[in-house]
Amino acid sequence: MRPLARKIVLTQGVIILLIFGVSLFTWWQMVDASNRAERLQAEYHLGTNLEQLVAELRDMGRSRTYYFGEKKSGGEELARLQDSFYLSLVRIASTIDELALQSGPRADLAGLVDTLRRRLDEYQLRVGQQELAFLRDEELAYQRSGARAAELRQDMHDKTKDHLQRQAAMTREINALGRRADRAAVLALVFCGVALVVGLLAAYGLTRSIHRPVRDMRAATEALSRGEFDSRIPVHSRDELGDLALAFNEMAARLQELDELKGGFVSMVSHDLKTPLTSMKEAVEMLSEGVGGDLTVRQKRLLTIASESLDRLGRYVQGILDLCQFEGGRIQLVREPLSLTDVVQEQASLAEARCQEAGVNLHCELEQDLPLLEGDRFRLAQVVNNLLDNAIKFTPREGRIEVRTGVLPWEDDLGVFLEVSDSGVGIAARDLRHIFEKFYQAPSDSRGKVRGAGLGLAIVRNLVEAHSGRVTVESTMGRGTTFRVQFPAARRQADDQALAG
Q: What is the 3-state secondary structure (H, E, C) of 305-363?
A: HHHHHHHHHHHHHHHHHHHHHHHHCCCCCCCEEECHHHHHHHHHHHHHHHHHHHCCEEE
**pLDDT tens string 308-320:** 777 767 766 666 6
Strongest mean pLDDT among 237-241, 322-326, 452-456, 475-479: 475-479
User: Can you point out the beta strands (E) in 336-469?
Assistant: 336-338, 361-365, 373-375, 400-410, 413-422
φ/ψ region of 290 (left if φ > 0, alpha if ψ in -120 to 50, else beta) reads: left
In whole angstroms, what is the distance from residue 64 CA to residue 87 CA?
12
Mean pLDDT computed over every residue of the chain = 75
Query: Mean pLDDT over residues 209-228, rounded?
Result: 76
Q: Indicate if the pLDDT at residue 21 is higher than 50.
A: yes
Query: What is the spatial distance between Cα 328 and Cα 270, in angstroms, rounded to a whole number?
Result: 15
Average pLDDT over residues 283-294: 74
- Rounded mean pLDDT, 68-90: 67
Q: Residue 497 pLDDT > 50, yes or no?
A: no
Mean pLDDT of 186-206: 75
- Using the predicted structure, report yes or no on whether residue 491 has a pLDDT greater than 90: no
Please state, as a whole number, how many other Cβ atoms lie within 10 Å of the Cβ of residue 443.
8
**pLDDT confidence of residue 444:** 52
Let me know: does 341 contact 368? Beta carbons within 8 Å: yes
Confidence check: pLDDT of 334 > 70: yes
Neighbours of 391 (CB within 10 A): 28
Q: What is the largest distance, in Å, between two alpha-carbon atoms of the chain?
A: 181
Query: Could you write out the DSSP letters of every residue in 167-216?
Result: HHHHHHHHHHHHHHHHHHHHHHHHHHHHHHHHHHHHHHHHHHHHHHHHHH
| Whole-number pLDDT of residue 216 | 81
- Chain-centre distance of CA 309, in angstroms? 58
- Which tops the pLDDT comparison, 70 or 305? 305
The closest of 437, 432, 358 to 393, measured between CA atoms, is: 358
- Record the pTM: 0.47
User: Residue 485: its pLDDT value, please?
Assistant: 93
pLDDT, tens digit, for every residue of 356-412? 888 999 999 998 888 999 999 988 998 999 899 889 988 888 899 999 999 998 877
Q: Do 413 and 422 form a contact (C-beta atoms < 8 A)?
A: no
pLDDT at position 494, please?
37
Distance between start and end Cα atoms, the chain: 75
In this predicted model, which residue has the larger pLDDT, 335 or 179? 335
pLDDT number for residue 500? 36
Strand order in the sheet with 480-488: 361-365, 400-410, 413-422, 480-488, 470-476
* pLDDT for residue 270 is more than 60: no
Summarize pLDDT for 458-471 with one digit per residue, the tens: 888 888 988 889 99
Residue 499 pLDDT level (bands cut at 50, 70, 90): very low
Cβ contacts of residue 432 below 8 Å, gap of 6+? 473, 475
pLDDT for residue 38:
61
Q: What is the mean pLDDT of residues 167-196?
A: 71
Per-residue pLDDT at 48: 65
Amino acid at 211: H
Tens of pLDDT, residues 104-157: 666 666 777 788 788 778 877 888 887 788 778 788 887 888 788 788 778 877
Please name each of the domains of the chain with its CATH number.
3-179 (1.20.120), 240-328 (1.10.287), 336-498 (3.30.565.10)
As a whole number, mean pLDDT of residues 81-101 equals 72
Q: How much is the pLDDT for 453? A: 59
For helices 107-136 and 3-73, what crossing angle results, to 10°?
10
